Amino acid sequence: MGQKNMHHDGAGMLTDPVRNPQTAPSGVRTKRAFILLLLTLVLPGSAQVVAGNRRLGRRALQVTFTVWFFVAVALVLALTNRALLVNIVTNGWASFILMVVLVLLAAGWALLFLNTLRIIRPPLLERRMRPLVAGLLAVLMVGTSGGLAYGAYMLNVSRSAFGTIFASGPSLDPVDGRYNFMLMGGDAGEDRTGLRPDSMSVISVDAKTGKSITFSLPRNFQNAPFPADSPLADIYPSGYNCGDECILNSLYQTVMENHADLYPESADPGAEAMMDAASGILGLDVQAYVIVDMEGFSTLVDAMGGITINAGGWVPITAGEIPGTNRHYPPDGWIPPGTQKMDGYTALWYARSREFVTDYHRIARQQCVQQAMVAQLDPATLLTRFQAIAAAGEQIVKTDLPQDQLGSFLDLALKAKGQPMERLTIGPPDFGTAADNFVTYPDFDLIHARVAQMISGQAAAAEEAPAEEAPAPEAPAEEAPAEQAPADDSAAAPEAPTDNSTDIGAESGAVADPGTAQEEITVEYLQYLAEIQDDATLSTLLDNNGVCSPG
């Protein structure tokens, strides 16, 4: 009897279609093949436990469940402590270990799929089903192992970029609940001596909410004071006040050439000096800097796939300078008004051109470009264009922000994306007019008061946020620029007259309908005026080219 039962059980094993498909009907073999592929996709190792090498399958399942555990932990961190998760991923050693793990998982998953193909036994399938099973296997391997391998590659690209761009110094602590960063657009072309930061602004970010304010500093700002603890306070006890030669954007190169020894521990004494000057001007503690090479800025915009700007007026693409004069040849082209997607070349000139208008028009356009880049650098763009963006960043960005704190700053950036960025220009139209030389003889008490007012107003708004969040979406960012904010303070209002703000800092509603005069303007007419050097007419026609908003 025992022998009979043993024979029966053995026969049952031989006819089991899962482990012995050779005795199964053709349709069952096909179904078995697809099920085993699905098991390897959803639960790697389960196909081996069911129909192949059980020992291999059990080990693969152990790895699978371990990976699921860590993925669950990562999801919990993403919901509860996103900054910690990003800090782990961007940490040098942690990212290296993660990269190695991804490579090993990619190889292991690929081997499991190949082992599953062996278990399927393609010769037992109908001839017409064999290429279908093989094709599905290839697709699944590309989607799984290929995806993990690409993730490892992207992680390696990010490690290289982060290591090149960011510093390895100590973490920064917020000052009075805020981080203050100085952003400079460096212009170090072949025709210039050293770096000249023509674009300067301080980004002040609430450390909890991510709400931010951009304080733009004109390049020709004079008499910048230095904090008492700055080494430049002894060199310039009355501020940077040697006349027209001491405009703000000359400070960087002056320090690099004459006073670099005052900042012995700094990799960039010029940037440290600019931060000290910005701290004195604004009454804030500026903690770190970011320098963007404007010559390479177009590469970054192209890497993003372009940016959309709602431009208000015609902007000239400046041609070369006429030798022996302070004039330029007629423009190489013109950027028209209206909403448009700009490539890197166009965006660069939109941000840097100031021909026929003032520096304050350019500052307003630079603010719009900054806002557009922040708003349009979304996760989808990062994912699909990460390599190009990272490569561009390595070439054009220099900063002393600590890499170990990158997660915190990225978390703040994500919080800031969904909120309007307030703006204040330390000059016209927010302080004085172009005619009264405010930037030559600035009122620092007034500047400090207005800066403090904006920051305290933002903090008060954050405390009242639950009661005010409902109506907020009705007012888009561009309809409430920071230039408007001080209007509630009667003491500050005289320094920012409304007639000026309509010229440069007007609301974006004017952009959509530039008016009949703008509609009649043509490229040919503007070029003719430039050729005959009618700067007065051009200045009038282009006076609204600082009116803009992110598209």
Q: For residue range 314-325, list pLDDT tens digits in order.
A: 999 999 999 988
Q: Contact at 8 Å (CB) between 446 and 492?
A: yes
Identify the residue whose tokens are 């989607």. 143
Q: For residue range 180-226, list pLDDT tens digits in order.
A: 999 998 765 544 445 678 789 999 999 988 899 999 999 899 999 99
The pLDDT-based confidence of 503 (bands split at 50, 70, 90) is very low
Q: Contact at 8 Å (CB) between 409 and 401?
A: yes
Q: Contact at 8 Å (CB) between 376 and 387?
A: no
Closest CA to 453 of 274, 215, 266: 215
Return the percent helix, strand and coil in the chain, to nearest 5.
60, 10, 30
Q: Which pLDDT value is given to residue 231?
A: 96
Angle at 205 between CA 202 and CA 211, to 5 degrees: 125
Q: Which pLDDT value is given to residue 512?
A: 37
Find the distance separating the first CA and the last CA of the chain, reported in whole Å: 85
Share of the chain above pLDDT 90, in %: 52
Q: Contact at 8 Å (CB) between 501 and 483?
A: yes
- Which helix (DSSP H) or strand (DSSP E) does residue 423 occupy? strand 422-425
Is residue 362 packed enough to be buried (19+ CB in 10 Å), middle (13-18) or exposed (0-12)?
buried
Residue 14 has pLDDT above 50, yes or no: yes
Closest CA to 405 of 146, 83, 183, 72: 83
Mean pLDDT is lowest, of 9-18, 36-45, 124-133, 534-543, for 9-18
Q: Contact at 8 Å (CB) between 341 and 551?
A: yes
Residue 481 has pLDDT above 50, yes or no: no
Q: Contact at 8 Å (CB) between 492 and 449?
A: yes
Q: Which residues have C-beta within 8 Å of that of residue 252, sequence separation ≥ 6?
A: 184, 194, 195, 196, 197, 270, 271, 273, 274
Share of the chain above pLDDT 70, in %: 84
Q: How many CB atoms lie within 10 A of CB 215?
A: 28
Q: For residue range 218-274, list pLDDT tens digits in order.
A: 989 999 999 999 999 999 999 999 888 899 989 999 999 999 999 999 989 999 999
Residue 482 has pLDDT above 80, yes or no: no
Q: Convert 230-257 to b/e letters by CB count within 10 Å (16 or more is b).
A: bbbbeebeebbeeeeebbbbbbbbbbbe
Choose between 172 and 509: higher pLDDT. 172
Choose between 374 and 249: higher pLDDT. 249
Q: Which residues have C-beta within 8 Å of that of residue 93, sequence separation ≥ 6?
A: none
Q: What is the dihedral of CA 373, 286, 223, 491, to 10 degrees?
A: 80
The pLDDT-based confidence of 168 (bands split at 50, 70, 90) is confident
Q: Which pLDDT value is given to residue 7?
A: 40
